[in-house]
């Protein structure tokens, strides 16, 4: 699978561009800066999710009231210092993931689970829309036994309610390590509004999320 975010911009149309395609020149010239995007985490709780392309997942969570910051990165693998080129090509065990920094007195972990499961398809194995491969698998990473119990209970609740036609295949795994993605991936949705993938895939999802979760949106996204 082409991993270099090279969008083939044809004169009148483009064909099925995905999160795993971007400018080769951009990828080569912009390197990860591990400290640059990290927020002040004092007093904040953390939650880590993998739900397909991290451009989309990051955009959803950034709109949630009580969420202070969202960082795109990689989790679920063992290799040290994974790069986007390696992860997006499926050469590692990592999935594209986001780390959510939130105020637990403003939004609960259970509410974050609700947002996560409502903003991607947890029934498709190793695929989200046009993005396919194990790097796009659905995972919730828990940090405490209480979080694991909450995740398992919520998945069981969704199954009992028949929320999805097919069985939920989301993995529930202990959190081990989160590697921050390269700088150009951070806030990609905001900084690249004209990108074909953002326009055709991410934006419709974000607009749907804003319409369905107005009670959880930050004030600036409610208008």
* Dihedrals phi, psi of 17, to nearest 5 degrees: -70, 150
Q: Which of 128, 141, 133 is nearest to 100 (CA)?
A: 141
Contact predicate 44/103, CB 8 Å: yes
**Which entry of 19, 47, 50, 53 is annotated as an active-site residue?**
53
β-pair partners for 102: 45, 67
Cβ burial of 35 (10 Å; 0-12, 13-18, 19+) is exposed
Q: What are phi and psi of 161, to 5 degrees?
A: -75, -10
Which residues touch 23 (CB under 8 Å, ≥6 apart)?
4, 5, 6, 7
Strand order in the sheet with 178-180: 171-174, 138-142, 45-51, 95-102, 67-75, 178-180
Map tokens 């949705």 to a residue.
189
Residue 53 annotated as catalytic: yes
Report the number of secondary-structure helices (H) and strands (E) in the chain: 8, 8
Token pair, residue 101, equals 């920094």
Supply the residues annotated as catalytic.
Answer: 53
């Amino acid at each position: 699978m082409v991993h270099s975010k090279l969008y083939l911009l044809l004169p009148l149309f483009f064909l099925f561009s995905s999160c795993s395609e971007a400018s080769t020149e951009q990828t080569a010239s912009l390197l990860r800066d591990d400290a640059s995007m990290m927020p002040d985490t004092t007093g904040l709780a953390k939650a880590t999710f993998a739900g397909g392309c991290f451009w989309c997942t990051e955009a959803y969570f950034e709109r949630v009231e009580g969420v202070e910051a969202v960082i795109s990165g990689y989790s679920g693998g063992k290799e040290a210092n994974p790069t986007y080129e390696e992860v997006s090509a499926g050469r590692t065990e990592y999935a594209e993931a986001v780390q959510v920094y939130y105020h637990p007195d403003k939004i609960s972990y259970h509410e974050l689970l609700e947002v996560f499961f409502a903003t991607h398809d947890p029934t498709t194995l190793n695929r989200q829309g046009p993005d396919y491969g194990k790097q796009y698998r659905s995972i919730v990473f828990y940090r405490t036994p209480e979080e694991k119990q909450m995740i398992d209970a919520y998945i069981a609740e969704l199954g009992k309610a028949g929320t999805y036609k097919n069985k939920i295949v989301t993995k529930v795994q202990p959190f081990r390590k989160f590697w921050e993605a390269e700088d150009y991936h951070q806030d990609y949705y905001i900084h690249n509004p004209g990108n074909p993938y953002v326009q055709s895939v991410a934006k419709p999802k974000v607009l749907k999320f804003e319409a369905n979760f107005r009670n959880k949106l930050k004030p600036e996204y409610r208008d």
